[in-house]
Structure 1
Amino acid sequence: MILNIDLVSDFVCPWCFLGAVRLDRALAELRATRPDIEPRINWLPFFLNPDTPPAGEPYRAFLEGKFGGPVKAEAVLDQVREAAAGDGLQYAFERIATRPNTLAAHRLLYRAQAHGHKPERVRALAHALFAAHFQEGRDIGDLDTLADLAAACGDRRELVREWLERGTDADKVQRMAAGLRRQGIEGVPFFILDRRLSLSGAQSAAVIGAALLQALETGKPS
């Protein structure tokens, strides 16, 4: 039985990283009792700050400007760390120098899905993008970095690098993101389950799991 999951996220959103990890956990628990379920995740683009400069911007300065100074910014990061600790997810915010423009990163994931890469490969790439930014402090707006991440997930580095350089599918990704905002999605992560139910925020794995079951029950023929 197919279970379609649209996951709207941005790779500079720490709650999206946590939401993806919790979704993985919820799906693992679901498959343990429902091995007949075949989840299909469709990653959709969102831009937290569409006006981010193409080369990115200094990370700490952005946070402090957004949250009102270094003390308040650190308090927000502590909140994220505390929320993620129970899921075994650790952030290395101190390693992040640049808050990147994520258009190229979204294009890369769009390419993987459009080219029919296996779901596990697409998932690995998505998680690699999150980890590169939040755990390794790498600039995921940099095309060489993105090509390296794609290669580590089984793609051909030189082909990916050339594709990124051409700007291919930038218009499609931007239209998709704009369309999602027009539908009323203003915060991420945002889950759309089997086109029947929606779930907003980095909910717990238990809450996500319950929503997945509800989507399955709703989809049963009467």
Structure 2
Amino acid sequence: MSATEATAGRLEIVSDAICPWCWIGKAHLDAALALLAAEGLRFEIGWLPYQLNPDMPEGGVDRRAYRTEKFGSWERSQELDAQVAEAGRAAGLEFRHALMTRTPNTVEAHRLIRLAAPDGVQHAVAERLFRAYFQEGEDVGEPATLARLGAEAGMGEDALAAFAAGEAARAEVVAESLGLARAGISGVPSFLLDRHLLFSGAMPAERMAAGFRRAVEILRERAA
């Protein structure tokens, strides 16, 4: 989309890099955006940080131990993983939970996504991180891994250098994640149009498209 092409507004996705429903939601979002683009509705896309586990140790933890404690048993965790995998297949995604050994702290992943904005590749970086974690078993809390994934998704040298320096966007990511939680967002993915919260959840593409379409109509009516 050219800089001069009009959009229907800025659509932002509140997400965490290790949220399976966020990857499923992104798949449905991409399909919804394609439906709306065919009608002439196009959006500026951005990603906002949300930490599902803000107290996670910096180096992450063993996934099996963490989820066993969280859900009461490993068997229950596997049942939930199977539900996610089924929903993923319906969205055209393959989850490989057997490859996932770590539950990482996601501040570094959010830093990477934020620093991808000037290059216009936030959407691509988010997708690359989801695929790396859920399908390839990568540790998306490890800075060297993240830098490689960012480069694969199209981030430029300046953005990657800022990420490698270690502090760029850290304070902003933490503050924004806390701010979104305090504003009432308690689940991800959540979708905002021009900073108006539309809905949360990985609903099917047709329902998403209908929600975005109606939101555009309402905001245009208010502006008229």
Do they fold alike, i.e. is TM over 0.5? yes
Alignment partner, residue 22 of structure 1: 28
Q: Trace 1:68-217 onto structure 2 (pairs within 5 A).
A: 68-113=72-117, 116-118=118-120, 121-156=121-156, 160=160, 163-217=163-217
How far 1:195 sits from its partner (Å)?
A: 3.4
Aligned positions, number: 216
Report SS of the residue matched to 1:90. coil
Alignment partner, residue 67 of structure 1: 71
User: Which of 51, 59, 71 is the matching residue for 1:47?
Assistant: 51
Which amino acid counterpart does residue 6 of structure 1 have in structure 2?
Answer: E
Alignment partner, residue 7 of structure 1: 13
Let me know the Cα RMSD of the aligned residues. 1.7
Q: Is the 2:96–2:135 contact (alpha carbons within 8 Å) kept by the matching residues of 1?
A: yes
Shift in CA distance, 182/150, structure 1 to aligned 2, threshold 3 Å: same
How far 1:57 sits from its partner (Å)?
A: 0.4
Post-superposition Cα deviations, 1:27-65, rounded to whole Å, max 9, x if no partner, equal 111112x22x22112200000010111111001111111
1:189 & 1:159 partners in 2: Cα distance?
25
Unaligned runs of 5+ in 1: none
How far 1:155 sits from its partner (Å)?
A: 2.9
Which amino acid counterpart does residue 146 of structure 1 have in structure 2?
Answer: L
Q: Is the 2:116–2:155 contact (alpha carbons within 8 Å) kept by the matching residues of 1?
A: no
How far 1:197 sits from its partner (Å)?
A: 4.6
Which amino acid counterpart does residue 213 of structure 2 have in structure 1?
Answer: L
1:197 & 1:162 partners in 2: Cα distance?
31
How far 1:150 sits from its partner (Å)?
A: 1.3
Which amino acid counterpart does residue 215 of structure 2 have in structure 1?
Answer: A
Which amino acid counterpart does residue 66 of structure 1 have in structure 2?
Answer: K
Which amino acid counterpart does residue 31 of structure 1 have in structure 2?
Answer: A
Q: Is the 1:9–1:190 contact (alpha carbons within 8 Å) kept by the matching residues of 2?
A: yes
Q: Is the 2:147–2:163 contact (alpha carbons within 8 Å) kept by the matching residues of 1?
A: no
Shift in CA distance, 141/165, structure 1 to aligned 2, threshold 3 Å: farther
- TM-score scaled by length of structure 2: 0.90
Shift in CA distance, 205/159, structure 1 to aligned 2, threshold 3 Å: closer
